[in-house]
Chains A and B, each alone.
Chain A
Amino acid sequence: MKQSVIPIKLVIAGASITVLDSSKMGSYSCTLKGEQQLSGIFHLQVPKIERKEKPMISYIGDTAVMNCECPGYTATSWTWYMTNGSKQIAINESLLTDKYVISKKSANITQLKILKLAKEDDGEYWCEAAFGLGKSKGKLELKVLSYMAPLKPFLAIVVEVVVLIALVVSYEIYSKKVKRTEVEFWNLTSLSYSKSEDSGLESSRARQRRI
């Protein structure tokens, strides 16, 4: 937006227009003709609603809570729309009080609560803020998943854990077996080589070794 710098002395000879009609919203320019030509352009628009880029994820039977915020400005009213195909249908909460709950969280935040989610509730939602001179829309995407969706990775990881534990334990049993046969082998050889020696000491030591 081009910023026009108006020197103070010209404020005395200022001009203003008041826009009252929402159809008259747009860009205005004012020009001061004199020794120097000064002009400035004003872009009039309604405040923008913060948009959420990522879709919100919820599950069948759960409650989805969607917030729409217009920072710094107070809207006169908020309306929520649901997209059905290509049409946008306003959500009338008085009709379905056990499904939709619209509440005003604060001056510039509105909240839509959808209870008992079903697969049909999946899709785009729009929150519309009405100001004196126009309306502003924000889009929210809701994805409704079934519990099967996270269950697959969950089961995959559980299977991986069980497999790893089984591997570790079987390796341990295998290596214990190998050690035991080794110990028995050395016991036999030591006994046969040194019957008169204190072989009892060796074998007791071997027995004490943690197997």
Chain B
Amino acid sequence: MSPPVPSDLGYVPPDGGWGWAVVFGASISVGFAYTFPKAFTIYFKELQAVYSISYSQIAWITSIMCATTYGGGPISSILVNRYGSRPVVMFGGLLCGTGMVSAAFCTSIMQLYICVGFITGLGLALNLQPSVIMIGKYFLKRRPIANGLAMAGSPVMLCTLAPLNQLLFDNYGWRGSFLILGAILLNCCVAGALFRPIGPGTASIKTQVPEEGKDALKQKVTEDAMEMSSPVNLPMKNKTEEEGERDCCEKINQYLDFSLFKHRGFLIYLIGNVLMFLGFFAPIIFLAPYAKHIGIDEYSAAFLLSILAIVDIVARPTTGIIANSKWVRPRIQYFFSFSIAFNGTCHLLCPLASSYTGLVVYSIFFGLAFGMVCAMLFETLMDLVGAARFTSAVGLVTIAECCTILLGPPIGGTLIDTFGDYKYMFIKCGVVMVLAGTFLFIMNYYNYRMLAKEEKERKAKEEDPKSVRTENEGRNNWIKETTQDGPELEPLREEQEGLKKEANGTSEV
């Protein structure tokens, strides 16, 4: 690995110490967010009988929950940008708990949709994104390991929540279980308490630092006609309309960074992942029904999922360690594309497995591939956009993924119903994922080359006289450049430098 590069956060992350407590908290939050919808399906049969509704109507609960968890990403990002991770996670935990407790007293399915689906889903969204963001703030050199460990919380939580839900249901019925689940979800608040704020000196919020810089400049360059972005929180009475408009864009960008859509790496990641999620979750949902379809008994079919979960638990931290090694870390995007393509190949080969042993082998490889992809899901995004812009990036990515995540299983189900055969669903998932993996591989190859080129250009410019640089940097405020190692110069820092140089330039004039 290259010599330590100052991170774009403005400080050097501890890479340990309290960071491990943050990883633990993050694994709890992530675990709840990903596994709660899956573990909730235990109550379906009972709720169907009580409310006299069909399976598809009851399945809407988990669909709404998933949709809110992923769709609430931007809201999470905005809140974290404004208030920091800790209050958001604690509020999310409270929201989850309240949602489930109120669900215990519901009398109609519509109320269940709102309480369990919407409120709990939103609470989980407020848990998921900030946890991942916090890891980026506490780790840099060991970030892949931290990410792998935090994401390992998901299968661990699944292994505990599923039997726990069954136990609660047997002892307390569905109403009592919802009440107790509400209390269990409050543990997300404990996870939130572990997220000690960390930042460069004064405010860790992006909004304040550029404000100070701008204030200082305003004092220097008051009569200048040069248009500069004005401080966000000052009263808008004496601003012209043009400045007011820019304010609005600036304001939105500071809460949710839409300029990411000009970022090459971000767009590559977005398109690749949106495509991948079309075939990501369907095989897990249909694995047990497929096993039963080819004649395997119910318990052995359920055991397949347990095998998957156990392999997953081991695969995620291991992938984190591999991704952190000096051979893989600079080329982590290739590793990610490879694991997606590997996952797709597993699905393509699944129809060849016609016996129980074949399915066990498939489950093992699927668990491995699934763990690899999940462990690196957020790490690669952090690697592309840098930890500072990750806050907004994760929100934008999750809301885009939301659509394909929700579409994937129903499309798979339709294929199964139309052809009466599970193999077309596996083929579809496999093809989609291999395509996504190949796309990411090729585009990241192109991206790495462009980054290397831009790095060379930047180094060349640094040796040039300063006057050329001030002009260029002023124009290059929002164009992103990343180094090959990952963390890139933050817009914040560049903007600051740019503004300072402009100020210097004008004062020299």
Known: A150-B180, A157-B184, A210-B200. A59 touches B173 (CB 8 A): yes
Chain A residues near B196 (CB-CB < 8 A):
172
Size bracket of the A interface: 20 to 34
B172 touches A57 (CB 8 A): yes
Q: Is the interface of B mostly helix, strand, loop or mixed?
A: helix
Contact A154 B173 (CB under 8 A): no
Least CB distance, B274 to chain A, in whole angstroms: 37
The number of chain B residues with a CB under 8 A from chain A is 29
Give the distance in Å from the alpha carbon of A44 to the alpha carbon of B180 in the complex. 49
Q: Say yes or no: A164-B173 contact (C-beta < 8 A), given A151-B179, A153-B180.
A: no
Partner of B190, one of A54, A67, A164, A209: A164
Identity of the chain B residue whose Cβ is nearest the Cβ of A64 in the assembled complex: B50
Measured CB to CB, the nearest residue on chain A to B198 is A210
Contact of B201 among A150, A153, A208 (CB under 8 A): A208
CB <8 Å contact, B193 and A164: yes
Residue of B nearest to A55 (CB): B170
Q: How far is the CB of A40 from chain B (nearest CB, A)?
A: 30
Given A65-B50, A151-B179, A154-B182, A168 contacting B173 (CB threshold 8 A): no
C-alpha spacing A172/B175, complex, angstroms: 37
A166 — nearest CB in chain B belongs to which residue? Answer: B193
A56 within 8 A of B: yes
The answer to the question of B360 belonging to the interface, with a C-beta cut-off of 8 Å to chain A, is: no
- Which residues of the other chain, A, contact B183 by a CB distance below 8 angstroms? 153-155, 157-158, 161
Complex interface: chain A residues within 8 A of B187 (CB)? 157, 161, 164
A62 contacts the other chain (CB 8 A):
yes
Given the interface pairs A54-B170, A56-B173, A62-B175, the reply to whether A157 lies near B194 with Cβ below 8 Å is no
Q: Mark A130-155, 1 if CB is under 8 A from B, else 0.
A: 00000000000000010001110111
The residues of A that contact B177 with a CB separation of less than 8 Å are: 150
B189 part of interface (Cβ distance < 8 Å):
yes
Assembly CA distance A166 to B134 (angstroms): 21
Cα A151 to Cα B104 with chains together (Å): 12
| Contact indicator per residue, chain A 46-90, by CB within 8 Å of chain B (1) or not (0) | 000000001011110011010100000000000000000000000
Q: Is A165 interfacial (CB 8 A cutoff)?
A: yes
CB distance from A29 to the nearest CB of B (A): 34
6 additional contacts (CB under 8 A) given A59-B175, A62-B175, A154-B179: A57-B172, A145-B176, A153-B180, A161-B183, A164-B187, A209-B201
Chain B residues within CB distance 8 Å of chain A: 11, 49-50, 170-173, 175-177, 179-180, 182-184, 186-187, 189-190, 193-194, 196-202, 204
